[in-house]
Amino acid sequence: MFKGVYTALATPMAADGAVDYPSLGRLIEAQLAAGVDGLVLLGTTAETATLSAEEKNEILYFCTKQIQGRVKIIIGTGTNSTASTLQNTRDALAFKPDGVLVVTPYYNKPNPAGLIEHYKQVAALGAPVVMYHIPGRTGLKVPGEVLGRLLAEVPQIAGIKESDYDMAHVTDTAVKFGNRLSYICGNDDLFPQYLAINAAGIISAAGNVFAPAFVQIYKLFTGGQTQKAFALFAKLYPLIKACYLETNPTCVKYMLEKIGFGSQTVRLPLGEVSAENKQKIDRLLNAADASLFIH
């Protein structure tokens, strides 16, 4: 259901922290021009945790009006509370997304019964669900046995955004469940490895800046030109790693500012990228092939 390159859209902000809608509009158009298959709204990269309910609603209204059905839309609705996740999902459904992205509840570390019931209640609202599995942020690694039960009991789960770095676990999940749903890469720096185990595509934070390159890598790989795909990935790899020198999306937003898409402003508790890391990023951007960037 969800195939190809999806960018987890950042939220450009003015110096005072207000949402910069002109820059957001330009960012959307640049993503569409790059040929992405979809956009994820209100994900981690959007700094959703720092947005008010009113801001989230305004962003969804603005983005869906701008996109006008030209690509698929997935809206992030997950929190560590089932009640607030359900409310977020109800609010999102008003914008008719193609799916909702629901992170495994963080901090709480739900037991299997609670985790399954959480997703059952979200799925009952009617939208296809993409489960977001990111143990490094949530503190919850879902065992294969529990995932099997979850997928059996909640058939509305149409995809998994996988951001685990345990490739043995990732491969095991892809083999067991890859034919049941869209198994989506959530680790920009492992994109070829995921494609090699038949991942459906990627949801990318680095794609905010490098969408043209990710689209081309995907097309080359799925077209059978795997060596060319990896050669392009290898060219992009240092820039991908630079996106994560500090907590996402601080470096991504700094890069966006450098190429003319809004400011580097992030909201507390995220802070400005260090001077040392800015210098590293500047050197990489200055030496990079401009065709890798959005325009």
pLDDT of residue 127: 96
Name the residue type at position 83. Answer: A
CA neighbours closer than 13 Å in the CB half-sphere of residue 14: 6
- The single-letter DSSP state of residue 260 is T
Residues 6 or more apart whose Cβ sits within 8 Å of residue 118: 82, 85, 105, 110
Q: Cα(65)–Cα(245) distance, rounded to whole angstroms?
A: 34
Annotation says 132 is catalytic: yes
What is the Cα–Cα distance from 231 to 218, expressed in whole angstroms?
12
Q: What is the pLDDT of residue 1?
A: 85
Quickly list H helices, 94-225.
112-123, 135-138, 144-153, 167-177, 191-196, 207-222
In this prediction, residue 211 carries a pLDDT of: 98
Between the CA of residue 40 and those of 2, 140, 148, 202, what are the distances in Å?
11, 22, 25, 11
Is 189:237 a contact under the CB 8 Å cutoff?
yes
Q: How confident is the prediction along the chain (295 residues), in pLDDT tens digits per residue?
A: 899 999 999 999 999 999 999 999 999 999 999 999 999 999 999 999 999 999 999 999 999 999 999 999 999 999 999 999 999 999 999 999 999 999 999 999 999 999 999 999 999 999 999 999 999 999 999 999 999 999 999 999 999 999 999 999 999 999 999 999 999 999 999 999 999 999 999 999 999 999 999 999 999 999 999 999 999 999 999 999 999 999 999 999 999 999 999 999 999 999 999 999 999 999 999 999 999 999 9
Predicted TM-score (pTM) of the model is 0.97
Q: Mark whether 235 is an active-site residue.
A: no
Instruction: Write out the two tokens for 62.
Output: 């603005």
**From 6, 56, 119, 132, the catalytic residue:** 132
DSSP string, 28-51: HHHHHHHT-SEEEESSGGGTGGGS
Of the residues 161, 194, 253, 254, only one is catalytic, namely 161
- Would you say the C-alpha torsion 188, 191, 197, 198 has a positive or negative sign? positive
Measure the CA–CA gap between 134 and 103, rounded to whole angstroms.
Answer: 8
CATH of span 4-292: 3.20.20.70
